Structure 1
Amino acid sequence: MGRKAQILLVISLLMACIQALAANTVSAGEHQAFWLWSGVKTSDQMRNAQTVYLHQGEVIPTSRGTIYQPMGLPVDKLAFKQIWLTVRFTTLDVPEEIPARLIRLMQRWQAAGNDVVGLQVDFDAATRRLEDYGGFLQRLRAQLPAEFSLGVTGLLDWAKTGSVKTLNALPVDEIVIQSYQGRKTVSNYAAYLPALTKLRIPFKLGLVQNGEWFAADEKQLQASSWYRGTVIFLLNPQPSTG
């Protein structure tokens, strides 16, 4: 093989590798559901957005007791077909006035002309404490008007190392399992996917923008009639180091 042919072969192999990597990378613009966290800017990557989970604040313990700290976009009419309001909880010791405040917030977004599906609770419950979490969600569900759904984010090991029976008993309308930590996909996330097919509540898989995602994984989850697709956690571009 001549030198020119060798160079062409190397280039061809490199291009094939680049294409394979690109095919296995989460391209946000190819998806329709997104988390829009406070501080993250909207972009043309959301051009196909149908459902958006808006981070609207955090429930945190303080020396003055548990408080709700508002964050994210102000109430306005948005172009998305549906929105969920996502609130990060760092404690389950929550006074009743906080859910009441969140209900009023959903009603304000609704009055602004948006189709508000409901409230999504973002709480990293330990797998062994899922029953306790279920009790909290039951009390929260009882406070929500029937017009609003209740959803939660979930951890990969909830289904694999926890009790699927307990998980299926959670009083929620949807669970979005996160396959990432920070800005990166969990390295062995695929090992958890078979357990997710045992869920008997509507579920989605949360992916991080530019993370890993393979067509075979999607096909595996699509075998479940409870699978409802993906939700992309959008990121701001990393600052240039050059």
Structure 2
Amino acid sequence: MRPRRFSSALLLAFCLLPGCHRQQSADGPPVKASAYDAFYLWPGVRPAESLHPRMFYLLDGEVRRGGPPRLKALRMGTPHLPDQALWLVVRADRLDWNEATRAAILSDLGSWRKAGNTVIGLQVDFDAATKGIGHYAQFLRDLRRRLPQEYRLSVTGLMDWSAHGDPASLASLAGIVDEVVVQTYQGRSTIPGYEDYFRRMEHFPIPFRVALVEHGAWQAPPMLAHHPQFRGYVVFLLKPASR
């Protein structure tokens, strides 16, 4: 899950939330990675030895804008992490994937598994606009059909989905994806006003995790502990130079 670069309009929307009042920073103690066991791990980032990871989301490649769609590999070699469950993450700027793109992704999933890893499935990291969830659902439905049944399908999601997403569109995702990982940060900082978004997630219909950024401010909203779809946290680890 990439650190987002939000548009000025979307950032303004955050500041118009009740209780935000143009805050410059979010409230809460800093996120300590050692308190969690699931992590986003980008190429070039090594987890600290003090961590006890149970699960990794590993960025494998990107499907970028421009030219014919293809998977741009970002990871040198095949990971070998037999003690952790792994998600292969593909970061996408476009949804017009062709057969070669999908074949490359399926090949990587198979290579990871053959290397002795416990591969859970594929995560698509795509910034789907809230009003475009219906179109995104069509793409994901086709991808789910092509994905071998032994792999789960995960997507990243913006907090705005819960506040302004069409209920019917969100419900359609519930029958396609196995989880949504909701991002709470922009860059290296937690988005102010996140509490207000989570108050609106009472009826969110899909199993979800919450993604936190290492060292970002976070105070868990009380409703999370009681939400029937909440599945825990994922921490985006920063490069050592940023610590």
Write out aligned runs for 1:65-80 (5 A). 65-72=68-75, 74-80=77-83
Could you tell me the TM-score, scaled by structure 2's length? 0.84
Contact kept? 1:155, 1:177, Cα under 8 Å? yes
Residue 87 (structure 1) aligns with: 90
- Which one has a larger percent helix, Structure 1 or Structure 2? 1
Larger relative contact order (C-alpha < 8 A, sep ≥ 6)?
2
Could you tell me the TM-score, scaled by structure 1's length? 0.84
In the alignment, structure 1 residue 35 sits paired with structure 2 residue 79:
no
- Determine which of 51, 58, 65 is the counterpart of 2:55: 51
Write out aligned runs for 1:1-242 (5 A). 24-45=29-50, 47-63=51-67, 65-72=68-75, 74-170=77-173, 171-215=176-220, 217=221, 219-238=222-241
Amino acid corresponding to residue 60 of structure 1 in structure 2: R
Distance in 2 of aligned mates of 1:48 and 1:42:
9
**Structure 2, unpaired ranges of 5+:** 1-25
Amino acid corresponding to residue 85 of structure 1 in structure 2: L
Contact kept? 2:27, 2:218, Cα under 8 Å? no
Contact kept? 1:87, 1:119, Cα under 8 Å? yes
Contact kept? 2:85, 2:119, Cα under 8 Å? yes
Amino acid corresponding to residue 208 of structure 1 in structure 2: V
Structure with the greater alpha carbon radius of gyration? 1
Contact kept? 2:124, 2:156, Cα under 8 Å? yes
Amino acid corresponding to residue 54 of structure 2 in structure 1: Q
Structure-2 change in CA distance of 1:34 and 1:59 (3 Å):
same
RMSD: 1.9
Could you tell which deviates more after superposition, 99-108 or 163-172? 163-172
Structure-2 change in CA distance of 1:199 and 1:42 (3 Å):
same
Contact kept? 1:151, 1:175, Cα under 8 Å? yes
Structure-2 change in CA distance of 1:116 and 1:239 (3 Å):
closer
Provide the identity percentage.
38
